[in-house]
Amino acid sequence: MAPSIPQLKTRTRTRAERPRLYKVILLNDDFTPRDFVVTVLKAIFRMTEGEALGVMMTAHQRGACVVAVFTREIAEEKCLRANDEGRRAGHPLAFTTEREE
């Protein structure tokens, strides 16, 4: 007689409710002009001049700054568009995404 195979449970854990959130982070560099960073923050992240200045200066002084938090798709899309803007203008401007806990 063939040996019996233990039955494996295949129950999947359903992720209820809240999707994971991702931070978009602005990284400092020594070359991208401050006003260009502010322009990108206003255009892609719909910030006011004051908000954009605050985020840009924080990244400038501390090396990085969280710009905003979104679901994964939105975070990645905005990050991509913001990095494209920098590249198109010939600046090393860099944004990245990071999953929240």
The reply to whether 28 sits near ligand NFA by the rule CB under 6 A is: yes
Measured CA to CA, the distance from residue 99 to residue 72 in angstroms comes to 8
Please report, in angstroms and rounded to a whole number, the separation of the first and last CA atoms in the chain: 50
CA quadruple 88, 72, 60, 54: dihedral sign: positive
Is the CA virtual torsion 41, 34, 93, 24 positive or negative?
A: negative
From candidates 22, 24, 25, 26, binder to ligand NFA by CB under 6 A: 26
Dmax (CA) for the chain in angstroms is 78
Report in angstroms how near the CB of residue 72 gets to ligand NFA at its nearest. 23
Q: Among 22, 24, 25, 37, indicate the residue that binds ligand NFA (CB under 6 A).
A: 37
Q: Which of residues 41-80 bind ligand NFA (CB under 6 A)?
A: 56, 59-60
Note whether 100 and 25 are within 8 A (CB). Answer: no
Is residue 83 part of the contact set for ligand NFA (CB under 6 A)? no
Stretch that binds ligand NFA, among 7-15, 33-41, 43-51, 75-83 (CB under 6 A): 33-41
Q: Which residues bind ligand NFA (CB under 6 A)?
A: 26, 28-30, 32-34, 37, 56, 59-60, 93
